[in-house]
Amino acid sequence: MKRFLWRASYIVAIFLLTFLVLAPRAKAELKVGTLFCYTGPLKEFGPNIRNGTVLAAKQLKEAGLTIKLIHEDTETSPIAATDAAKKLVNIDHVAAIIGPMTSPGVVAVAESVTCRKGIPIISPSATSPLLTVLPADKGKDFVFRTCPSDALQGIVSGIFASTRYKTASIMYINNPYGQGLAENFTKSFEKRGGKVLARVPHDEKVAESYTAELRKALKNKPDVLCAFSWVGNARIFIKEAIEFFKYKSFLFCDGTKSQDLIKAIGAKNLEAQYGTAPASAKGDAYLVFVTDYKEEFGKLPPLPFITNAYDALAVVGLAAYSAKVKGLALTPKNIRDNFREVACPPGEVVKPGEFKKAFELLKKGKKINYEGAAGSIDFDSYGDVITPIEIWKYSNGKIVPVRVEYDIPKE
């Protein structure tokens, strides 16, 4: 009896082993985290930026690389972003992170979590010039972004303002984003003959009122008030400026390029008011992305950084595949080491959605150069890229593009 049971067990074991060997193997998943804002002052932007990564993941899977996205809410807070990053790194064991969206979030996450752990992050929307020389990443090369530094947006905003106004005051959010934008605008505007009368900071946390700050900013009757803030804060102080101070001349930025702001302030109060924001190069790559995005989600909102988020995950996916065909393990460092291999010249150009083509080229040992939906993703030694800056305006209750500036002077 024992001999029979032993033989039966042996046969079952052989059967199971054969099944495991011959059965189709499931494709390995690459875990990538995202850190976007779904609550807090920037909650309007998070879901749309997330859609950019979802579309890229779908297309990469269709081409042969499965990416499992793990989404976390940063609450537009550096503290919440840090906690979420710890969860992604220590519990989910992600190979890379797309985000955080904000510059303070990137600084906090890089310093407390990712640079220490050797996890690459690519922010689609953190624009502070501080990130270029972030101390936590000095010499480590784990912080990247697919949006331009506000050293560029500030220049364009200052040039544009100098053609329309002689004086300006600035209300800015008191963090690396607002500080960098305010400083670079001031340099650009005053270099061209303008005068900044006041620079007034406010906290990140949304306050019930900003009348004290507005009183300082509007004291000397500037020709324009620059709203270099986040929409959650701006919707209050713009409304107060109009209602309490009878002031109606504003200049906006990417953080205040908002459909929610139109609803809160009223289309008539914002009519013909201008702003700037990082833009997408309006070439073939962008048009391909727009077509694919509309097929997946119905329409492309006139909000910033959706293309940049798509490009960020595209780079991660292409870099992972590049490492894979080289026989390398898909570790965070190996993936990071291939970012510039797949997104910088030289190499055959591949566009959004052309991931199957890219994978075939990589398997043949050929170089590729991913040209993104937002523009060229040519990471420099600091992980920065240069993309165009858009001038836009509020018109008839909509956000309308005016023009895109490509040739931005160095200041």
Residues 58-63: contacts with CB under 8 Å, at least 24 apart:
58/296, 59/292, 59/352, 59/353, 59/355, 60/313, 60/314, 60/317, 60/355, 62/355, 62/356, 63/355, 63/356, 63/358, 63/359
The verdict on 255 and 396 lying in the same domain is yes
- Reference 84, options 52, 49, 109, 116; nearest CA is 109
Give a yes or no: residue 17 inside a domain. Answer: no
The verdict on 262 and 396 lying in the same domain is yes
Residues 186 and 155: their CA atoms lie apart, in Å, by: 9
The verdict on 79 and 172 lying in the same domain is no
Are 203 and 232 in contact by the 8 Å Cβ rule? The answer is no
The verdict on 108 and 139 lying in the same domain is yes
Give me the sign of the Cα torsion angle 252, 390, 148, 52.
positive
Give a yes or no: residue 22 inside a domain. Answer: no
The verdict on 254 and 395 lying in the same domain is yes
- Annotate the chain with three-state secondary structure: CHHHHHHHHHHHHHHHHHHHHHCCCCCCEEEEEEEECCCCCCCCCHHHHHHHHHHHHHHHHHHCCEEEEEEEECCCCHHHHHHHHHHHHHCCCCCEEECCCCHHHHHHHHHHHHHHHCCCEEECCCCCHHHHHCHHHCCCCCEEECCCCHHHHHHHHHHHHHCCCCEEEEEEECCHHHHHHHHHHHHHHHHCCCEEEEEEEECCCCCCCCHHHHHHHHCCCCCEEEEECCHHHHHHHHHHHHHHHCCCCEEECHHHCCHHHHHHHCHHHHCCCEEEEECCCCCHHHHHHHHHHHHHHCCCCCCCCHHHHHHHHHHHHHHHHHHHHCCCCCCHHHHHCCHHHHHCCCCEEECCCCHHHHHHHHHCCCCEEEECCCCECCCCCCCCCCCCEEEEEEECCEEEEEEEECCCCCC
Are 325 and 100 in contact by the 8 Å Cβ rule? The answer is no
Give a yes or no: residue 185 inside a domain. Answer: yes
Give a yes or no: residue 378 inside a domain. Answer: no
Give a yes or no: residue 377 inside a domain. Answer: no
**Can you give the residue range of the structural domain that contains 261?**
150-280+390-405
Residues 326 and 52: their CA atoms lie apart, in Å, by: 28
Give a yes or no: residue 18 inside a domain. Answer: no
Are 162 and 193 in contact by the 8 Å Cβ rule? The answer is yes
Are 70 and 32 in contact by the 8 Å Cβ rule? The answer is yes
Residues 319-326: contacts with CB under 8 Å, at least 24 apart:
319/343, 320/30, 320/65, 320/95, 321/64, 321/65, 321/358, 321/359, 321/362, 322/362, 325/362, 325/363, 325/365
Give a yes or no: residue 382 inside a domain. Answer: no
The verdict on 274 and 159 lying in the same domain is yes
Residues 391 and 274: their CA atoms lie apart, in Å, by: 7
The verdict on 56 and 132 lying in the same domain is yes
DSSP bridge pairs for 251: 226, 274
Residues 48 and 45: their CA atoms lie apart, in Å, by: 6
In tens digits, the chain (411 residues) has pLDDT values of: 444 444 444 443 434 443 333 333 334 579 999 999 999 999 999 999 999 999 999 999 999 999 999 999 999 999 999 999 999 999 999 999 999 999 999 999 999 999 999 999 999 999 999 999 999 999 999 999 999 999 999 999 999 999 999 999 999 999 999 999 999 999 999 999 999 999 999 999 999 999 999 999 999 999 999 999 999 999 999 999 999 999 999 999 999 999 999 999 999 999 999 999 999 988 899 999 999 999 999 999 999 999 999 999 999 999 999 999 999 999 999 999 999 999 999 999 999 999 999 999 999 999 999 999 999 999 999 999 999 999 999 999 999 999 999 989 988
Give me the sign of the Cα torsion angle 102, 108, 109, 110.
positive
The verdict on 185 and 211 lying in the same domain is yes
The verdict on 144 and 155 lying in the same domain is no
Structural domain count, the chain? 2
Percentage of the residues of the chain whose pLDDT score is greater than 90:
91
The verdict on 143 and 161 lying in the same domain is no
The verdict on 140 and 202 lying in the same domain is no
263: domain CATH number? 3.40.50.2300
Model confidence over 361-401: pLDDT tens digits? 999 999 999 999 999 999 999 999 999 999 999 999 999 99
The verdict on 155 and 261 lying in the same domain is yes
Q: Which residue has the tokens 């990071």?
A: 336
DSSP bridge pairs for 200: 171
Give a yes or no: residue 136 inside a domain. Answer: yes
